[in-house]
Amino acid sequence: MESNNKNLNNNQTSISYKPLKDKNIIFALTGSIAVFKAIDFIRKLKGLGAEVFPIMTKGARKFITPLTVSALCGHKIKEFFLEDQDPDISHIKLSKEADIVLVAPASANFIAKAATGICDEILYAVLLATRAPVIIAPAMNSFMFTHPITQANLETLKRLGYTIVESPVGDMACGSKGPGRLASWEIIKEEILKSICEQTLQDKNILITAGPTREPIDPIRFISNRSSGKMGFELARVARRRGAKVHLVVGPVSLEPPYGVKIYKIETASQMLDTVLSLLPKMDIIVMAAAVADFTPSFYNEKKIKKGQNVNKLTIDLVKTPDILLEISKRKKEEQIVVGFCAETEDLKDNAVKKLKNKRLDLIIANDVTRAGSGFDVDTNEVLIIDKNESILHLPLLSKIEVSEKIWDKIESLL
Ligand code: PMT
């Protein structure tokens, strides 16, 4: 039996997303107090499907025990040279089998040695021997981090093609404040997933809209809808992982914005229109996943509308908002690709095809928002992807990130 969305737990998704399935990750921990945070990354990497092979430098072993790390990974800590009379040279075998090498936290000492090629522990030998992407997440006191030597060493590692994860500014274990903190899991995860993604959208400028708009009635009240921004945010994450420069125009939502994309916050449909049109000329692809209000109050009351005695009814006149997609289609250059979404409660396909034609779109993504697990404020969606020839691809209920991957695959086929 189908249930309405409002009966579902918002964070509930029975569909697991395993983008690191069959991937071998060498996870190296070095001597930094932030190593305690990185312990949690093991569970998260495994949650994404990865096989995690741990390495610990001597420094890391001063902060936590190898037993904790190996127990969580389900693999012994790799040691230099022969282990258990294993005829394979462990660091070479490990390097060959690795899909990614992650160093988190990366201490100043590690960064200095890695930049010079010093090779006195297994981690450094692995770095020299591997041809897998290397991701380094620094963590140290901010004076050590900003020291010209550390910065020069990081530049060297960047030049070698390593990904250096941005280190956020914040409170340090030593009591000072500044850059040098270990990046959050969200940021490290995005860099890992980007490193294994083919860069099929490299340097494309992509405009995505997400979330609801909010149409004010008075200083207290507004008209809006149930869009959470999840669909648009996942589209932005996947595009960024594939190398795009993402511009995300977003209405009022409570989610943390995706990492590595440019955010433009708006409130009303008319503000969304202005922002979108100002960005339009430089964009290659435009995807309108936002739930834009179709109507807005014809009049904004500067003061709160009072209940008043004997007033049992209030009528608010609404006028149509600008149709942003239609305005885009009128102005768009031949080579720009425009993708719309369509939220329906009945006749999904027919209504979607009408919108595809009326708004002159290259593609439309249609979701029936009355279906369980689909549409507003859930982590999953079931959609139809319809192109100009009305050929239809039906995606079953999937996580919104997987839906986004399939949508980008389809958009890329139009490039
Ligand atoms: O944000 P989530 O909680 O993850 O929910 C995702 C979603 C349900 C919002 C998303 O999947 C979705 O369907 N977005 C479009 C919702 C919508 O407004 O559909 P529509 O059928 O009313 O509009 C059709 C298209 O025209 C949309 O691309 C919309 O952005 C656009 N539009 C609508 C009105 C308007 N004035 N200008 C527009 O450009």
Give the model confidence (pLDDT) of 320-373 as tens digits: 999 999 999 999 999 999 999 999 999 999 999 999 999 999 999 999 999 999
Whether residue 251 is found in the same domain as residue 361: yes
Q: Is the Cβ atom of 321 under 6 angstroms away from ligand 1? A: yes
Whether residue 217 is found in the same domain as residue 72: no
For 110, the domain range is: 24-196
Whether residue 175 is found in the same domain as residue 284: no
In a domain, 5, yes or no: no
Give the mean model confidence (pLDDT) for residues 283-294.
98
Which of ligand 1's atoms lies nearest the C-alpha of 364? 28
Ligand 1 centroid to residue 219 C-alpha, Å: 25
Ligand 1 centroid to residue 197 C-alpha, Å: 28
In a domain, 171, yes or no: yes
Q: What is the pLDDT of residue 83?
A: 55
Whether residue 316 is found in the same domain as residue 372: yes
Structure tokens at 404: 């986004």
* d(C-alpha 257, C-alpha 245), whole Å: 15
Q: How many domains are there within the chain?
A: 2
Q: Is the Cβ atom of 275 under 6 angstroms away from ligand 1? A: no
Which of ligand 1's atoms lies nearest the C-alpha of 294? 36
Mutate to test the pocket of ligand 1, among 342, 354, 385 (most ligand atoms within 8 A of CB): 342
Give the mean model confidence (pLDDT) for residues 116-145.
94
Is residue 174 part of the annotated active site? The answer reads yes
Whether residue 29 is found in the same domain as residue 81: yes
- Cα 136 from chain centroid (whole Å): 19
Q: Kindly report which listed range (253-267, 280-294, 307-321) carries the lowest average pLDDT score.
A: 307-321
In a domain, 19, yes or no: no
- Confidence label for 1 from pLDDT (cuts 50, 70 and 90): very low
Ligand 1 centroid to residue 170 C-alpha, Å: 37
Q: What is the pLDDT of residue 14?
A: 53
Give the mean model confidence (pLDDT) for residues 36-50.
95
Whether residue 115 is found in the same domain as residue 172: yes
Q: Is the Cβ atom of 289 under 6 angstroms away from ligand 1? A: yes
Whether residue 169 is found in the same domain as residue 222: no
H or E element in which residue 262 lies = strand 262-265
Final residue in a domain of this structure, among 161, 196, 231:
196
Give the CATH number, domain containing residue 117.
3.40.50.1950
Nearest CA, atom 33, ligand 1? 292
Ligand 1 centroid to residue 296 C-alpha, Å: 16
> Which residue type, as a one-letter code, is found at position 286?
I
Model confidence at 81: pLDDT above 90: no
Q: Which of 73, 174, 197, 342 is catalytic?
A: 174
Tell me the percentage of the chain whose pLDDT exceeds 70. Answer: 94
Long-range contacts of 271-275 (CB under 8 A, 24+ apart): 271/213, 272/209, 272/213, 272/324, 273/322, 273/324, 273/327, 275/249
Model confidence at 174: pLDDT above 80: no
